[in-house]
Structure 1
Amino acid sequence: MEKKKVVVAMSGGVDSSLTAALLVERGYDVIGVTMRLSEESRDFEEDDRGCCSLSSVDDARRVAEIVGIPHYVMNFKDMFQEKVIDYFLADYAKGWTPNPCIACNRYVKFEGLLQKAMELGASYVATGHYARIGQDETGRYLLKKGIDEKKDQSYALYHLNQSSLAHFLMPLGEYTKVETRELAEKYSLPVAHKPDSQEICFVPHDDYKAYLRAHNPACLHPGDIVDTAGHVLGHHEGVPLYTIGQRKGLGIAAAHPLYVVDLDMVHNRVVVGGADDVYADSLVAGDLNWIAIDALAEPIAVTAKVRYGKREGRARVEPLAAGKVRVTFVEPQRAVTPGQSVVFYDGDTVVGGGIIEAANHHKS
């Protein structure tokens, strides 16, 4: 019987490296692929933590040699520029806070790489994400949380659809991060204790403000910082340089802590308020994708996560016109931010998700 061919997206980190080793052990015909995404990532060679730096390519190649698989570097720079970097700059320019890792997963890894893998005759693409893929009794594919709650990455994968889920493998969803590093040691992988990548891979030194100033200075116009009543409290160098919930770096002296509560691009104002003003009762989301259901026909009860790393909150999701939804929270959520994703869960199963377009701020 012919082995099933799988392309493993190898970033040079411990997660993707162990994924390759596990699939070799399980009898797959494995091909390792490192994606060349951006010239900016070369700046990360020194600190070794960017997911696509030159040193990471070398790490991936070394691991491929150890586990006995071919390794290739594929050029996805044009796609990455259009789908990730251009989107990143455009979202900031309209006062939103983008999530480039979700965009990269969606368009580059789970569309672009899958297409390349199929051209190579592969049946699957595998990644080192901490999430699980299952099926219900009808055969519908489901996306579930990884068993390691601290590392669960299902939030960043809510855009997967039935056809893509059928061709993806995520073996690390069944492991904790501690177990991953222990297994990597067992397989003698040199990256077993390599630090996790923390940065946005194309933003040098994780300084998005410097990146905006260098790559899209036209979106930055000096203006006023105002309170919720419209009183001018200070001045800013550009609305996109601020984020919802931000407290530090406002340059305002006040008797009580102030937080960014709104980014008003129409009037070129940063709006600040007290701690209570940062909370939202509800939000509107668009660009939706459903996994566990075909579409939302009537309101449903879920738990909803409004940012990676945040806890879910109980919520009601109801359909609106034009393919949007309103999400109403049982308890107000802090720093609900347009441009970020809201993901809906039923227990450990991802129901679906979308992009936050507007938040309704809590009135205490």
Structure 2
Amino acid sequence: MSGGVDSAVAAARAVDAGHEVVGVHLALSRMPGTLRTGSRGCCTIEDSMDAQRAADLIGIPYYVWDFSERFKLDVVDDFIAEYAAGRTPNPCLRCNERIKFAALLEKALDLGFDAVATGHYANIVTDDDGNRELHRAADWAKDQSYVLGVLTAEQLAHSLFPLGSTPSKAEVRAEAAARGFSVASKPDSHDICFIPDGDTRGWLAERVGAEQGDILDRDGAKLGTHEGAAAFTVGQRKGLNIGFPADDGKPRFVLEVRPKTNEVIVGPREALDLSEIAGSRFSWAGRPPQDLGSPLECMVQIRAHADPVPATLSHRDCELVVNPEQPLSGVSPGQSAVIYLGTRVLGQFTIDRTVSAAPIHVG
């Protein structure tokens, strides 16, 4: 129970469904002020109190479990290491993968519980052979299946998402109000919970370093300087501080971050278009496809709020390889690509390499 409206209603619905429910809030930091407060994040002392009030109204036991050390190692330190390597990680996806449906689920099973229920908007469907599948939520606008794409078949077997079939978030808020929950109108959390003031660049500079380096064009010509390559992501336009325009007068975007040489490569928007993405770190959300010897038609989603695009999926040389029908834009190594068959999440991989739709020559 994060202290928000979704997990409160999910817990109440689990009780209504006849389950024996215990509310658990995750303490992810031992230092007050290192996680967001109010509506800007989750898992703070304020949120813990909100969760306890909801648990009291529902009439279920409530506990706070300290996962701060594991959260630091598996989410925060991973976030820092990925940026230091020039990649762009998704900390919410890592939290689901390594904390909520790994550390939390492991402890729950050890204590004799059957499953972990959360307020995520997603559905679990059982096929004719008894295999559990992860599917999009009924409300696509609130669908969170992307950040759950890391779940395995074993984890899906012990997961419940009571809100998955709800037509809209407005209905959840109305239900919360009817149940008397004080969080009924609490704003949704957003941004990265472990960066207190939302200044990701400044936060990274303190931990990765902010040594001045060069901003180069694709031919290797120096255009300017930056105060730390780790602060930049592929596709970024703002904050380049290049003192003169491109020859064609069009804006330039970050095409590549090179942490070893502390260089940032920039170029035109069309240079961001990719014809292929691939990764060797992948997992299947339930039963894997029977045969990937030939390309499989699918949909691929590269961000939590991006639209899925038609593509083909292949398995080559220990990698999952996706070729979109139309070029993908602004994709960075470190992002997660989630594969869909209709509404079903087939699996996901961390993007290790990309292939440009048009050759890019760097001097």
**Following the alignment from structure 1 to structure 2, what is the Cα–Cα distance between the partners of residues 331 and 341?**
18
User: Which structure dedicates a bigger proportion of its chain to helix?
Assistant: 1
TM-score where L is the length of structure 2: 0.93
- 1:244 and 1:260 in contact (8 A); partners too: yes
**Following the alignment from structure 1 to structure 2, what is the Cα–Cα distance between the partners of residues 83 and 46?**
22
- 2:25 and 2:64 in contact (8 A); partners too: yes
Q: 1:280 pairs with 274, 284, 287, which one? A: 274
- 2:253 and 2:266 in contact (8 A); partners too: yes
Say yes or no: does 1:108 pair with 2:99: yes
Deviation of the 1:48 alpha carbon: 4.0
Which residue in 2 is equivalent to 1:339? Answer: 334
Q: 1:250 pairs with 240, 245, 251, which one? A: 240
**Partner amino acid, structure 1, of 2:24:** V
**Partner amino acid, structure 2, of 1:226:** L
1:234-249 aligned within 5 A: 234-249=224-239
**Following the alignment from structure 1 to structure 2, what is the Cα–Cα distance between the partners of residues 35 and 274?**
44
- 2:234 and 2:257 in contact (8 A); partners too: yes
Deviation of the 1:140 alpha carbon: 1.2
Bigger Cα displacement from structure 2, 177-186 vs 11-20: 177-186
Which residue in 1 is equivalent to 2:345? Answer: 350
TM-score where L is the length of structure 1: 0.93
**Following the alignment from structure 2 to structure 1, what is the Cα–Cα distance between the partners of residues 73 and 255?**
30
Structure 1 segments unaligned to the other structure (5+ residues) = 1-9
Deviation of the 1:362 alpha carbon: 2.2
- 1:135 and 1:142 in contact (8 A); partners too: yes
Say yes or no: does 1:180 pair with 2:169: no
Deviation of the 1:185 alpha carbon: 1.1
**Following the alignment from structure 2 to structure 1, what is the Cα–Cα distance between the partners of residues 282 and 37?**
39
Structure 2 segments unaligned to the other structure (5+ residues) = none
Q: 1:136 pairs with 118, 127, 130, which one? A: 127
Deviation of the 1:266 alpha carbon: 3.7
Q: Runs of at least 4 residues of structure 1 off by over 6 A?
A: none
Deviation of the 1:329 alpha carbon: 1.0
- 2:205 and 2:228 in contact (8 A); partners too: no
**Following the alignment from structure 1 to structure 2, what is the Cα–Cα distance between the partners of residues 320 and 265?**
28
Which residue in 2 is equivalent to 1:304? Answer: 300
Q: Percent identity?
A: 39
Which residue in 1 is equivalent to 2:181? Answer: 189
1:1-364 aligned within 5 A: 10-39=1-30, 42-44=33-35, 46-175=37-166, 176-217=168-209, 220-252=210-242, 253-254=244-245, 255-294=249-288, 297-298=292-293, 299-321=295-317, 323-363=318-358
Q: Deviations over 1:242-285 (max 9, x none)?
A: 01111111101312211111112343211111121122111111
Deviation of the 1:230 alpha carbon: 1.4
User: Which structure dedicates a bigger proportion of its chain to strand?
Assistant: 1
Deviation of the 1:301 alpha carbon: 1.0
Paired residue total: 352
Deviation of the 1:111 alpha carbon: 0.9
CA RMSD in angstroms, aligned pairs only: 1.5
